[in-house]
Structures are given as structure tokens and as C-alpha cells.
């Protein structure tokens, strides 16, 4: 008997892809999620029904430019989301061996994966856009039905960009390093778009005025005025015929091109990521002496070799950039910088300490070694604190040039915040929870809350100390409640 | 001579289920001892208690005369434990992993470095300098074994040590275990491959429901079961209740 029949087509594979994607979103609480979505959507539709009574004003003048800019912002966010999803689709899903060894053509696998990425990256934004399109149609503006195909086309365009960028990284750096770079770049892209949108506000007032004047010139108006091609993505969404046709053809065309041209690279990339040996490194010539040194070296290596973790850490640092801009513009904001740094460093310290202790990958090895568990935990937390301390150092040096009192306040509160984080983690550590930070938020909400209150307390104490207020003592007392409660948690 | 491992009246319960139920065993230095039993018999629980990874509810365990409960660090210093699925650090390289293990056992760095190089060479991993995440199951098993050997333990506890190894590596490891036993090291292993136990173990213990139900050399076991019986025959006869129960669902 012959069991193997014709290979299933792309529709079957797409249905499988979307089912997996949906289950990944909802987990066991699919029903609850659906109910929440239904309520949210009903609310959005009600709001859109009022807003879209006269959508014609969206098609011209300043409203069109503003909506066009928002559309670009959203499209870039979709690209950033698609970038992250394409890394998962190409490198992290462990079903590629199965799919590529099946009789389904690799091109179909790639195309379906691309559509899956497009749909997933669109999902969140479509929730907001569709009610407005429906609202306009309810008032008889049927051309807004174009929002549906235009959105899918934009999603496919975003997916094509993300796939092309990911595969270009594979070509340039090889699959393994491309994965690391793409993970970091994906995280940065989202943050970068947000910061770029805010960059105008960070500029000095005189530069802002100059830019506004420049934007009113004829040359600038041709480029960014209501008739500019730049706003065609938005005009495609509201059903303007020529922009709609152009955007749809461009996006779908780009998608098809990427699928067709990238098939070979896709196969090479995925094969390499799964099977090929990684870059060789020269073995260390000497072993370190002493438990503390080897444990710290091991923990720092594991932290620095985790691209997801690095991207999360770098993101926290990236979000400090606007603070620098504010500091440069307003000297009076200096007393707000230190508390913010304390909050950021504490969050990072908490995450890293959790990862080194609860994320111990080989608890059996450490447990069967002739060393005390407490000692190993303290050394691990010491390693975890190295990076947050490193972040604080430049700011300590900065405050040293401003005021010795502020320096002392910042140093004392930062040390207090990091020490509080350390003891909270040591007293509540549960080894073997894994190294995925996403699990941390789910694992112990109480510990996270305790840690947050401690960090907030120390940050507030720092602000009060810098302002010379005796209420700082009360804030410190509040901050110390958290480690004390962690100690009580441990005893219980 | 002090027994390498002495267990008396060991009991371990998980909620209402008794995993180890008054287990007694004594294993001499230089002995290669195989512990057999059906799934869920209590083998791994027993070994984890010996390695200091679980606390028993009752009973005593001593390794080379050191009580595991009252002097765990002394006991662990002479012990190596290789779990059935050793979890290694995915983002470390083999030599870095061995450096970490050497640090845990406070070995002299220079000696440990040269020993690590020898072990990696011997296990065919000397030229593998990539991250462990790229290793196959067998390579991970070999590296974990190198980690277990680096501090030259007096007692080795190996839970399914041949899992994932190719035929050549499996033979290499079997020879190593026999050599270590001849050199005076107590080697205790669990395995589901009965031929291995039959071929290399000096004595065999069969555990059922957390108790030792048969123990002795292969000749002694055969004598009790009848001439010509293989270890498989003896094992299946002793554990029949579990195997028929399992087959029945």
C-alpha cells in the first residue's frame, strides 16, 4: 500500500502556521483572550463610528501629512516586529528539519513562513486600523475597504524587508553570527524608531525653529507636502486608487522577489544554523585559581554570550540617551538623572542576579560539588552586579564634577539599591528556572514587586538627598522594607 | 577497609509515594557495581541522595567514611556524579566548562589544565573549541564524563553513562570504568543495557520499589536463578510484576 500522496499545498501549510501562531499567543487562555479582544474591538468600533463620520478631511492638507507620518511610524514598527519574528521563523523554530525534509518545496515553506510573519506582525496594528476602516464603511465610504488588502500588502512588504535583511546578515556573517546580530538589531530597531520620533524634542529650541522654517520652503513641501509620494502608504489604506495600486504592487512584488531569490540562501542559512560547527576559538592557556574567579568568569561569559540578554541590556542603556539629551539642555534636571539611573541599574541587577541564580543550567554539578550553596550564590550575585555597577560608574564620575554631596547621595543610594536587589535574589532564588527573562515575570510576581519597591525607594531617597531633604531617611527605611520582607519570605 | 559507599535504612518519599524504602547497600573501594531496576524503582533517587542533591527522610549514607548529611563537603570532595542527562552550559566552550568544574573542586589550576587537555584528547574532543550548544548528545556526554573525571574521584556515580555514545566511545568509556575500578576507584553505574552490567560489573544490585531485591556477583545471581540464566532472564524474573503491570497499562 502506498501511503505517501501529493505534497500538501501552501494553504494547508499556512493554516498550520497560523494555528501555531494563534496557540503561541493565547496559550491555555484562548477563550479569555478572545473575550477581552471582543470587548476591546467593540469599544474601538464604537469610537471609530463617531470619528469616521466625515473621513474626507483625512485625504488632504495637514491631516493627511500627520496621518501619513503616523502610518510610516506604524509601518516601521511592523518592520521591526517582522524582523524579530523572521529570526524566530528562520532560526529558532525547531520544525525546519521536518518541513525541509518533507516533499513540500522549500519555496513554499519560505513563502508561507513569510505570510505567517506578515500576519503576525500586522495583528496588533490591525486591531486599531480595522475598526476605523469599518467605521468609515458604515457611513457609506466604501473605498475604505481597501484598508484590508492594503494592510496585508504592507505586512508582506514589511515581512519581505525583514526576511531580506535577515538573509543578508546570513550572507555577510554566516548563520550563527547573523542570528546574534539580528536579535540585537531587532530589539534596537524598535527602540531606535521610538527615539528617532522623539529626536526633534531633544534638539535645542533654535534648531527646532530653523527646521520648521526649512520645512515650509517649496523644495521641502514638494518632498513632504500632502501630494508627496511619501504619504502613499496612508493613501493606500484610505483607498486612493493610484497609491493603493502602487503600494500593493510594490509590497507584494518585493515579497515575491525575496521568496524567489532567497530560496537558496534560506536553505543554506537554516542548514548552517542547525548543523554546522560554530566558529572555533583558541582555548585559554591557563585555568583561573579559586572558586570566586572561576564562578565570576563563567557567569560573565554566559551573560555576554547571550544575544537576547545583551539586546535587553543594551536597550535599557539606549533608553538612557534621551535622559542625556535632557541633561544637556536643562541643567536643573540633573537631580532627576541619578534616581532614573538607580531604577535602570536596579532593574538590570535584578534581572542578571535572577539569571545567574535561578537560571543555573547545571544545578546538579554545582549541587554535587564540595562547596556551600550560599557561597556560590554570593559569588554569582557579585558577578551579576558587575554590569550595573559599570553603568553607574560614568554617572558617578559626572556627579564628581558637579557636587560632592550629589556624588555621595548617588553612590550611597545606588549601592543600597544594588545590595537590596542582591539579597532579595539570594533569599528567594529557585535554581533551575531557566535563563529566559520572560519566565521571570511569570515565575514570582511577589519577588518582582518587592524588588521594584526597593528600587523605587532608593531612587526616591536619592532624589530627596540631592535636594537636602531629611525625608530621605524615611525613603531609605521604606526601601529597606523590601529586603526585610524577602528575608521573611525565605524564612516562611 | 572503609567501604566506598555505605547506605543504611535509606528512605525517601515524594508526597505519598515512597521512592526509596529502607534501602541498604555497601560497596567496597575498587568495586565496579551496577544498579539495575525497572523505571521508577528508585535508582536515580538513591544516587541523587548519595550525591547530596536530595535529602533523605531517613537513613544514613557515607562516602569513603564521610557522612553525606553531616559532612557533605568532605563526601563530595571524593565523589563524582554524572546524571543521566547532564545539563551543561550551552554558551561555554569545553575547556571553559572544565575550568569551572576544576574551580568547584578547588583543583590546582596548572594541574587541572593539563588534566583537562588529556581528558579532552582522550575523549576525542581536543579540537572541539566551539560552544557546547553545538555539541551532539554523545559529545555532551563525553564532556560531562571529562568533568566527572577531572578531580580524580574515589567514588564515581554514573547514571546511564553510555546514553548517546557511539560504539567506539561506549567501548572507550567501558574500558575506562574497568581501569578506574582496578585502580581502586569505586564505580557505581545504572544502566538499562543489561549486557553491559553482565560484562563489566563485579557485583550487581537489582532494585524494585525502592528496595534491593537481589545482589551479588553474576555467578551468585545465576546460582540463585538456575544454570544458564542470563542477567536478562534473572532481571525479568525478579521484576516481572512491574513489567507485566507496565505492559498491561
Question: Is A293 in the B-facing interface, judged by CB distances under 8 Å?
Answer: yes
Q: How far is A85 from chain B (nearest CA, A)?
A: 22
Q: What confidence score (pLDDT) does residue B31 get?
A: 95
Return the SS3 of B13: strand
Mean pLDDT of B82-97: 85
Least confident of A97-106, B49-58, B150-159: A97-106
- Checking ipTM against 0.90, whether it exceeds it is no
Cα separation, A339 vs A318, in Å, equals: 17
| Topology given in CATH for the domain delimited by B5-85+155-247 | Rossmann fold (3.40.50)
Strand B155-159 vs strand B5-14: parallel, antiparallel, or unpaired?
unpaired
**Grid coordinates standing for B152?**
580524580
Q: At what angle do helices B167-182 and B137-149 cross, to 10 degrees?
A: 10
Q: How far is A371 from chain B (nearest CA, A)?
A: 6
Q: How far is B78 from chain A (nearest CA, A)?
A: 9
Cα separation, A369 vs B105, in Å, equals: 6
Q: What confidence score (pLDDT) does residue A433 get?
A: 53
Do the beta carbons of residue A362 and residue B89 sit within 8 Å?
yes
Among B52, B61, B55, CA closest to B26: B61
**Grid coordinates standing for A372?**
556551600
Question: Is A297 in the B-facing interface, judged by CB distances under 8 Å?
Answer: yes
What residues contact residue A435 under an 8 Å CB cut-off, 6+ apart? Answer: A302, A306, A309, A355, A359, A361
Taking 50 as the threshold, does the pLDDT of residue B203 lie above it? yes
Rounded to a whole number of angstroms, the distance between the first and last alpha carbons of chain B is 47
Q: Which stretches of chain A drop beneath a pLDDT of 50?
A: 1-4, 271-278
Mean pLDDT of B4-14: 92
Q: How far is B77 from chain A (nearest CA, A)?
A: 5
The model's pTM is 0.65
A368 with B86: Cβ contact below 8 A: no
Facing residue for A305 by CB, picked from B83, B91, B101: B91
Do the beta carbons of residue A212 and residue A47 sit within 8 Å?
no
Task: Give the model confidence (pLDDT) of B160-185 as tens digits.
Answer: 888 878 888 888 889 989 999 999 99
Task: Give the model confidence (pLDDT) of A335-364 as tens digits.
Answer: 778 888 898 888 888 888 888 887 788 888
* Domain boundary assignment for chain B: 5-85+155-247
The rounded mean pLDDT for chain B is 87
Cβ neighbours of A284 in B, within 8 Å? 95-96, 99
Q: Which residue of A has its CA nearest to B97?
A: A298
Residue B213 dihedral angles phi and psi, to the nearest 5°: -110, -15
B53 with A295: Cβ contact below 8 A: no
Q: Which residues of A354-383 are buried (b: 16+ CB within 10 A; e: fewer)?
A: bbbbbbbbbebbbbbbbbeeeebbebbbbb
Taking 60 as the threshold, does the pLDDT of residue B229 lie above it? yes
Q: Which residue of B has its CA nearest to A362?
A: B87
B109 with A297: Cβ contact below 8 A: no
Q: How far is A276 from chain B (nearest CA, A)?
A: 8
A372 with B129: Cβ contact below 8 A: no
Return the SS3 of A143: helix
Residue B101 dihedral angles phi and psi, to the nearest 5°: -60, -45
Mean pLDDT of B207-218: 89
Among A115, A119, A118, A151, CA closest to A133: A151
Length of chain A: 492
Cβ neighbours of A359 in B, within 8 Å? none
Amino acid at each position: 500500500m502506498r501511503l505517501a500522496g501529493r505534497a500538501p499545498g501552501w494553504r494547508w501549510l499556512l493554516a498550520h502556521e497560523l494555528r501555531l501562531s494563534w496557540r503561541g499567543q493565547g496559550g491555555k487562555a484562548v477563550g479569555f483572550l478572545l473575550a477581552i479582544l471582543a470587548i476591546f474591538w467593540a469599544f474601538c468600533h464604537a469610537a471609530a463610528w463617531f470619528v469616521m463620520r466625515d473621513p474626507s478631511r483625512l485625504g488632504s492638507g495637514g491631516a493627511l501629512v500627520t496621518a501619513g507620518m503616523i502610518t510610516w511610524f506604524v509601518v516601521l514598527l511592523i518592520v521591526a516586529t517582522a524582523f524579530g519574528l523572521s529570526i524566530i521563523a528562520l532560526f529558532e523554530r525547531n520544525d525546519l528539519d521536518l518541513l525541509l525534509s518533507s516533499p513540500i518545496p522549500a519555496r513554499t515553506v519560505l513563502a508561507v513562513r513569510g505570510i505567517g510573519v506578515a500576519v503576525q506582525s500586522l495583528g496588533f496594528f490591525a486591531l486599531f486600523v480595522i475598526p476605523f476602516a469599518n467605521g468609515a464603511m458604515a457611513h457609506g465610504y466604501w473605498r475604505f475597504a481597501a484598508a484590508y488588502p492594503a494592510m496585508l500588502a504592507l505586512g508582506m512588504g514589511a515581512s519581505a524587508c525583514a526576511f531580506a535583511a535577515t538573509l543578508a546578515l546570513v550572507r555577510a556573517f554566516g548563520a550563527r553570527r547573523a542570528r546574534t546580530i539580528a536579535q540585537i538589531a531587532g530589539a534596537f530597531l524598535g527602540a531606535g524608531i521610538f527615539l528617532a520620533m522623539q529626536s526633534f524634542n531633544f534638539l535645542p529650541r533654535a534648531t527646532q525653529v530653523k527646521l520648521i522654517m526649512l520645512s515650509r520652503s517649496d523644495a521641502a513641501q514638494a518632498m513632504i507636502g500632502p501630494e508627496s509620494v511619501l504619504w502613499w502608504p496612508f493613501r493606500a489604506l484610505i483607498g486612493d486608487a493610484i497609491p493603493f495600486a502602487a503600494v500593493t504592487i510594490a509590497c507584494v512584488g518585493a515579497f515575491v522577489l525575496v521568496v524567489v531569490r532567497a530560496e537558496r540562501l534560506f536553505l543554506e542559512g537554516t542548514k548552517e544554523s542547525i548543523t554546522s560547527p560554530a566558529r572555533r576559538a583558541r582555548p585559554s592557556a591557563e585555568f583561573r585559581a579559586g572558586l570566586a574567579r572561576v564562578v565570576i568568569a563563567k557567569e560573565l561569559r554566559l551573560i555576554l554570550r547571550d544575544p537576547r540578554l545583551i539586546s535587553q541590556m543594551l536597550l535599557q542603556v539606549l533608553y538612557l540617551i534621551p535622559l542625556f539629551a535632557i541633561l544637556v539642555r536643562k541643567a536643573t534636571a540633573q537631580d532627576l538623572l541619578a534616581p532614573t539611573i538607580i531604577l535602570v541599574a536596579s532593574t538590570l541587577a535584578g534581572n542578571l542576579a535572577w539569571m545567574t541564580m535561578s537560571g543555573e543550567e547545571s544545578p546538579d554539578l554545582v549541587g554535587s560539588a564540595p562547596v556551600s550553596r550560599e557561597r556560590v550564590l554570593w559569588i554569582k550575585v557579585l558577578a551579576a552586579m558587575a554590569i550595573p555597577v559599570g553603568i553607574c560608574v560614568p554617572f558617578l564620575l559626572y556627579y564628581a564634577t558637579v557636587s560632592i554631596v550629589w556624588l555621595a547621595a548617588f553612590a550611597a543610594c545606588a549601592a543600597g539599591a544594588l545590595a537590596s536587589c542582591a539579597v532579595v535574589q539570594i533569599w528567594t532564588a529557585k535554581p533551575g528556572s531557566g535563563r529566559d527573562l520572560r519566565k521571570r515575570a511569570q515565575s514570582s510576581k511577589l519577588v518582582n514587586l518587592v524588588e521594584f519597591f526597593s528600587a523605587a525607594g532608593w531612587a526616591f531617597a536619592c532624589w530627596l538627598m540631592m535636594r537636602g531633604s531629611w525625608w530621605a531617611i524615611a525613603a531609605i527605611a521604606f526601601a529597606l522594607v523590601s529586603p526585610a520582607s524577602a528575608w521573611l519570605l525565605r524564612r516562611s | 577497609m572503609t567501604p566506598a559507599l555505605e547506605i543504611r535504612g535509606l528512605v525517601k518519599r515524594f508526597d505519598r509515594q515512597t521512592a526509596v524504602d529502607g534501602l541498604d547497600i555497601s560497596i567496597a573501594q575498587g568495586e565496579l557495581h551496577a544498579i539495575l531496576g525497572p523505571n521508577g524503582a528508585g535508582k536515580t533517587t538513591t544516587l541523587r541522595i548519595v550525591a547530596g542533591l536530595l535529602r533523605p527522610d531517613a537513613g544514613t549514607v557515607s562516602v569513603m567514611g564521610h557522612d553525606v548529611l553531616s559532612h557533605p563537603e568532605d563526601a563530595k570532595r571524593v565523589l563524582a556524579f554524572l546524571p543521566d542527562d547532564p545539563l551543561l552550559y550551552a554558551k561555554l566552550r569545553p575547556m571553559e566548562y572544565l575550568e569551572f568544574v576544576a574551580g568547584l573542586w578547588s583543583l590546582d589550576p596548572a594541574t587541572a589544565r593539563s588534566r583537562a587537555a588529556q581528558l579532552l584528547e582522550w575523549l576525542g574532543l581536543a579540537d572541539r573549541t566551539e560552544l557546547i550548544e553545538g555539541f551532539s548528545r554523545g559529545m555532551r556526554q563525553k564532556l560531562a564524563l571529562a568533568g566527572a573525571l577531572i578531580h580524580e574521584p574515589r567514588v564515581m556515580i554514573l547514571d546511564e553513562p553510555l546514553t548517546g555514545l557511539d560504539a567506539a566511545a561506549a567501548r572507550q568509556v567501558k574500558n575506562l570504568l574497568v581501569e578506574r575500578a582496578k585502580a581502586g576507584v569505586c564505580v557505581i553505574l545504572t544502566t538499562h543495557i543489561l549486557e553491559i552490567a553482565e560484562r563489566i560489573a563485579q557485583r550487581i544490585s537489582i532494585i524494585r520499589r525502592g528496595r534491593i531485591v537481589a545482589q551479588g556477583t553474576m555467578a551468585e545471581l545465576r546460582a540463585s536463578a538456575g544454570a544458564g540464566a542470563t542477567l536478562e532472564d534473572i532481571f525479568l524474573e525478579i521484576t516481572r510484576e512491574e513489567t507485566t503491570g507496565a505492559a498491561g497499562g
